Amino acid sequence: MEYVLLLAVVVVFLVFKDRPIMVLEFKNGELIKTKGQVPSGFKTACKEIAHKTPFSGRVKVYKTRFVTKLDFSNTIPAKVKQRIKNVFPHNISTSKRGKRA
């Protein structure tokens, strides 16, 4: 019986674990930490954005089978979020893709 409980705990841990493919951390307009394989052009562009408009926060990139998603912390302003999305090198699919008007 304990094995079933242990197996359930392991499955829940694996399903709900936060697993981004890239993480960029900014503090007062400087890139202080990166995790994962960050493309050099994207990294340089993010440094320039942070230098021009100083902010603090974290950007996480998640990849599923069909979608690459950017996740921003709440401390990043909306205009900066849009600028980072514009320089992101991968295609970001939306839920409206493939639908015709």
pLDDT score of 70: 93
CA–CA separation, 74 vs 37, rounded Å?
24
Distances, alpha carbon 19 to alpha carbons 23, 49, 63, 73, 98, in Å: 10, 25, 9, 16, 27
Contact 13, 5 (CB under 8 A): no
State the pLDDT confidence band at 99, using cuts at 50, 70 and 90: low
Q: 99 or 84, which is more confident?
A: 84
HSE (CB half, 13 Å, CA atoms) of 16? Answer: 6
pLDDT score of 4: 82
